Structure 1
Amino acid sequence: MKILAINGSHRKGKNTAVMLGLVLEEAAAGGAETELVELADWRIEYCISCNKCLREPQCSIRGDDMAKLAEKMLAADALVIGSPVYFGNVTARLKTFMDRTRWLHMRENLLEGKLGAALTHAGLRNGGQELTQVILERFLTAHGLRLVEAREPAGPIYNTAPMGTLYEGLDDGRFRWRKGVLEDELTVVMCRILGRNLVRLGSGAET
């Protein structure tokens, strides 16, 4: 099983990447082949709405890295997409990537049947994670992916997806921040559960 994680953050190796890394680490322990793509390393031009993909499953834009990313997506059995929250939404970098996958969807869903999952991270506890999560999940389901949740079949239901935060509490009215997402115990647990679920569902252990 191949699992491709895509980090939409502008900051490589930071909290969103750490969360994705936890998912992949757990999946790799279950025997999956994993890869993390940092979109900050790739050049992706804007979709220009030329509508070529309405006629055939191809993109008219050449010369950037999107074709290579599409190859990785097509070769994977599961996709995990992560984004920090920017004004209740995904990053501009990730949105550009999402727009450029239009050719994989318009004529036929070329990614249909793969597993999909998403995760988010924000500074505040209620920092727009849920709305951003919905945007990511709608993107995955539009492509025909089957969503995988971050909860154990017989375990407690914390939530259905990892949504990290740096907010820890208040000290005399002043915010107290975590140093990083690894100090967010619940999010760490949920990322690991998600990794296990991807392998379990991908191996056909549950349909």
Structure 2
Amino acid sequence: MLITPDMLLGAYASGIFPMAESRTSDEVFWMDPHHRGIFPLDGFHISRSLRRRMLRGAHEIRINGDFGAVIDACAERPETWINRPIRDMYLALHRTGHAHSLEVWEDGMLAGGVYGVTLGTAFFGESMFSRQRDASKIALAYLVDRLRTAGFTLFDTQFLTPHLASLGAIEIPRAAYRRRLARALQREADFVTGEIPAAQDVIQRNSQRS
């Protein structure tokens, strides 16, 4: 069955999301975890080493610079749930303006990034990657700052990993997640509009909320 962008957005609004068994699988199934990973938007942790890395200024941040390349980079690992149908679904959703990437570029090369879905004031993080040291952490720092300043209220990470937990992510029960989701869907936020802030501004705003 062809999953259209509207069907995919309806699934996210209901609290479920698609996955696949492997890169070579042709099937897509739906996930509705008993516990959900989220990033409290006032709880992201910028370590001293990450702060130093960001202040070096050796990177450039772009929004939707190369969405397809970000998906492909996220799938470049021995085991991945990003198969061809998943890739096609999110490319179609990107064309509707509901899927976005935040990218870290170094020396003209894509060094790291993250992509996800926006609906209301919710951002559903799908996957991230890093080809250079700390590139995915830099992407997350800029992403959290952008979500806060743009008026987003929910950053869904789907699952909680040790890596995400070290940066401030937490896990909440399904019922609590759905309450937050329902509130997030009642308002709108714009992910794309707005200048890319300087690293110092991202760090300062994060420190004010810590």
- TM-score normalised by the chain length of structure 1: 0.31
Bigger strand share:
2
Larger Cα-atom Rg: 1
Structure number with greater CO (CA < 8 Å, separation at least 6) is 2
- TM-score normalised by the chain length of structure 2: 0.31
